[in-house]
C-alpha cells in the first residue's frame, strides 16, 4: 500500500461554503499535522477541522500542530485503522478536512462513557445540535470508541437527544487492528472511551449513503444466548466453537487473539432486520468462556448467518453508497465527501483493491475533496432508531 508521504491538498467551494482536505505522512506528529492543516485551509473563515490519524503518532503533539496552523478553529477527530484521501488510502499519516464559510454553522462537544454509559455520553454530546439553530440542513457527526461496548447504544443516545429530524453519521475509531485502545480528539484533548460530536448546519443539502456488499453463506444459526455485544451460544452450543467449526478456521485462530481477529475480519455475522440485513464485526474471541465479542448488540433469540464478500460485491456497494449520498443533494455537485469504511472491507479488497475503491469514491466526487478513515464500525441513521453498522461503507456528501 502506498503510504501518505509529502503533502497534498484539494478543495472546492461556493461564495458562502468551502471544503478542503490536506494530508501528510511524515514521521513527526506536530510537523505532519501542521502541514496537513495548513493545506486544508483553502479559504477564510474555517468553521470545523475533522482530523483522522494513525494512533502511532504522539496525539498531543499532533493536536498541538493542528492548533499551530488553525488557532481557535473547532477540532474533532480520531485515531484510525488507516486514512483515506482523494489520492488514495494510506497508513501512518494524518488527513484533515476543513469546512468553512458562513454557509456552514458548526458546534462540537464530547463526553466520556464512564462505567460503560455509552448511551448517556452520546445523548450529552448530541446536545451540541441545539447550537446550530434553524439551519435548513443539519447532520450530527459522531466519532466513538468502538472497543468501549455496544455501539448501538451510541445511536440510541444521540437519537434520544435529536430525534428523527437530524440524521446521524460517523464511525468508530481504530488502532491499526491492535484492538487494545482507540482515541478520540476534541479541541486540544486526546480522549478514550468517549463520544465526540460535531453538529453541522448547512445552507445546502447533505446526503448520506450506506451499503455493505456482504451476502449470506450456509444455514442460519439461532442466537440462543447473548448479552449485549457478547454471543454465548449459537444453536445451543458455545458460540466460538460453532463459529470456528463452521468456517474451518486455521489452528492459530483457535487459540491466538491476534490471529483470531485477523481471521474474523473477513467473516462477519449477518442479522436479519426489518430494514434488511445488518452486519456485525466479530472483534474478539473469549477463549475462556468460548464466546464471541462483537462491536454491537447481537439480540438473543434472533437468527444469524456467516457472511462473505468479494472484490465485486464490495465495489458494487461502494458505487451504491456514493450514488445514494450524492443523489440526496438535489442535483447539486458535492463540495466534499467524508467516507467511513470498515476495516473488514479493506481486508477483503487487499491493497490493490482499496486503491480501486478510493479511486471510485474520488470519481463520484468529481474533483471535490475526499477524506475518511478505516473504522471499527459505522454510523448512518436517516430513518428509524437503528443506525449502527459493521463491515459497511458510509458516505457523507456536502453540497
Task: With 0.85 as the threshold, say if the pTM is over it.
Answer: yes
Same domain assignment for residues 90 and 199: yes
Same domain assignment for residues 188 and 240: no
* Phi, psi of 73, deg, nearest 5: -85, 130
Q: Is residue 1 part of a domain?
A: no
Q: Kindly write down the DSSP assignment for every residue of 175-228, as one continuous string.
A: -TT--S---EEETTEEESSEEEEEEEEESS-EEEEEE---EEEEEEEEEEEEET
Q: Is residue 2 part of a domain?
A: no
Which residues sit opposite 226 in a β-bridge? 231
The pLDDT score that the predictor gives to residue 10 is: 64
The pLDDT score that the predictor gives to residue 295 is: 86
Cβ contact 144:350 at 8 Å: no
Q: Are strands 75-80 and 46-54 parallel, antiparallel or unpaired?
A: parallel
What is the Cα–Cα distance from 349 to 362, expressed in whole angstroms?
17
Average pLDDT, consecutive stretches of 10 residues, N- to C-terminus, the chain (399 residues) = 38 84 95 97 92 98 98 98 93 96 97 94 98 93 94 95 96 94 97 98 97 90 95 98 96 95 91 77 94 92 92 94 97 97 89 94 97 96 82 95
What is the Cα–Cα distance from 106 to 133, expressed in whole angstroms?
10
Q: Within 10 A of 134 (CB to CB), how many other CB atoms are there? A: 7
Same domain assignment for residues 203 and 269: no
Per the structure, the count of domains in the chain is 2
Q: Is residue 234 part of a domain?
A: yes
Same domain assignment for residues 201 and 332: yes
| CB burial readout 358-397, b (16+ within 10 A) else e | beebbebbeebbbbbbbbbbbbbbbeeebbbbbbbbbbbb
Q: Is residue 100 part of a domain?
A: yes
Q: Kindly write down the DSSP assignment for every residue of 373-386, as one continuous string.
A: EEES-EEEESSSS-
Cβ contact 184:88 at 8 Å: no
- Orientation angle between helical segments 343-365 and 311-327, nearest 10 degrees: 50
Same domain assignment for residues 145 and 79: yes
Same domain assignment for residues 31 and 179: yes
Final residue in a domain of this structure, among 275, 308, 341: 308
Same domain assignment for residues 158 and 219: no
| CB burial readout 104-133, b (16+ within 10 A) else e | bbbbbbbbbbeeebbbbbbbbbbbbbeebe
Closest CA to 168 of 180, 181, 159, 178: 159
| Range of the structural domain that residue 277 is part of | 215-308
Same domain assignment for residues 259 and 355: no
- Tracing cell 501542521 back to the chain, one arrives at 34
Same domain assignment for residues 71 and 186: yes
What is the Cα–Cα distance from 100 to 91, expressed in whole angstroms?
27
The pLDDT score that the predictor gives to residue 8 is: 43
What is the Cα–Cα distance from 127 to 250, expressed in whole angstroms?
47
The pLDDT score that the predictor gives to residue 276 is: 65
The pLDDT score that the predictor gives to residue 4 is: 32
Is the Cα torsion angle 164, 166, 167, 170 positive or negative in sign? negative
Q: Is residue 148 part of a domain?
A: yes
What is the Cα–Cα distance from 122 to 166, expressed in whole angstroms?
14
- We report the CATH number of the domain holding residue 251 as 2.40.30
- Orientation angle between helical segments 152-162 and 118-125, nearest 10 degrees: 40
Q: Within 10 A of 99 (CB to CB), how many other CB atoms are there? A: 29
Q: Is residue 387 part of a domain?
A: yes
The pLDDT score that the predictor gives to residue 391 is: 82
Same domain assignment for residues 89 and 59: yes
Final residue in a domain of this structure, among 281, 308, 335: 308
What is the Cα–Cα distance from 113 to 145, expressed in whole angstroms?
9
Same domain assignment for residues 76 and 182: yes
Same domain assignment for residues 197 and 283: no
What is the Cα–Cα distance from 175 to 279, expressed in whole angstroms?
21
Q: Is residue 59 part of a domain?
A: yes
Final residue in a domain of this structure, among 308, 339, 365: 308
Q: Is residue 11 part of a domain?
A: yes
Closest CA to 22 of 394, 369, 366: 369
Amino acid at each position: 500500500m502506498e503510504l501518505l508521504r509529502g503533502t497534498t491538498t484539494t478543495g472546492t467551494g461556493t461564495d458562502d461554503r468551502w471544503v478542503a482536505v490536506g494530508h501528510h505522512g511524515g514521521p513527526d506528529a506536530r510537523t505532519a499535522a501542521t502541514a496537513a492543516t495548513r493545506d486544508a485551509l483553502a479559504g477564510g473563515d474555517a468553521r470545523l477541522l475533522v482530523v483522522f490519524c494513525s494512533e502511532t503518532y504522539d496525539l498531543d503533539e499532533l493536536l498541538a500542530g493542528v492548533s499551530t496552523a488553525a488557532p481557535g478553529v473547532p477540532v474533532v477527530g480520531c485515531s484510525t485503522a488507516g486514512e483515506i484521501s482523494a489520492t488514495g488510502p494510506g497508513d501512518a499519516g494524518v488527513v484533515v478536512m476543513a469546512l468553512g464559510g458562513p454557509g456552514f454553522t458548526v458546534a462540537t462537544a464530547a463526553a466520556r462513557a464512564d462505567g460503560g454509559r455509552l448511551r448517556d455520553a452520546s445523548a450529552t454530546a448530541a446536545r451540541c445540535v441545539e447550537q446550530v439553530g434553524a439551519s435548513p440542513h443539519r447532520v450530527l457527526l459522531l466519532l466513538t470508541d468502538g472497543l468501549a461496548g455496544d455501539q448501538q447504544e451510541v445511536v440510541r443516545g444521540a437519537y434520544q437527544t435529536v430525534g428523527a429530524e437530524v440524521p446521524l453519521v460517523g464511525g468508530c475509531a481504530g488502532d491499526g487492528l491492535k484492538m487494545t485502545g482507540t482515541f478520540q480528539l476534541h479541541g486540544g484533548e486526546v480522549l478514550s472511551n468517549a463520544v465526540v460530536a460535531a453538529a453541522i448546519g448547512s445552507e445546502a443539502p447533505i446526503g448520506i449513503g450506506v451499503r455493505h456488499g456482504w451476502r449470506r453463506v450456509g444455514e442460519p444459526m439461532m442466537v440462543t444466548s447473548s448479552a449485549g455485544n457478547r454471543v454465548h451460544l449459537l444453536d445451543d452450543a458455545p458460540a466460538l466453537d460453532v463459529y470456528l467449526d463452521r468456517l474451518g478456521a486455521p489452528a492459530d485462530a483457535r487459540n491466538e487473539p491476534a490471529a483470531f481477529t485477523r481471521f474474523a475480519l473477513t467473516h462477519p455475522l449477518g442479522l436479519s432486520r426489518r430494514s434488511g440485513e445488518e452486519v456485525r464485526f466479530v472483534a474478539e474471541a473469549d477463549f475462556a468462556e468460548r464466546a464471541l465479542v462483537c462491536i454491537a448488540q447481537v439480540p438473543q433469540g434472533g437468527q444469524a448467518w456467516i457472511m462473505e464478500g468479494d472484490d465485486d460485491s464490495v465495489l458494487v456497494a461502494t458505487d451504491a453508497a456514493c450514488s445514494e449520498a450524492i443523489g440526496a443533494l438535489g442535483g447539486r455537485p458535492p463540495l466534499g465527501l467524508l467516507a467511513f469504511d470498515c476495516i473488514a472491507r479493506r481486508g477483503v479488497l487487499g491493497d490493490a483493491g482499496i486503491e480501486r475503491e478510493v479511486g471510485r469514491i474520488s470519481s463520484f466526487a468529481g474533483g471535490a475533496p475526499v477524506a475518511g478513515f478505516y473504522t471499527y464500525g459505522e454510523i448512518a441513521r436517516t430513518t428509524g432508531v437503528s443506525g449502527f453498522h459493521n463491515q459497511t461503507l458510509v458516505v457523507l456528501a456536502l453540497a
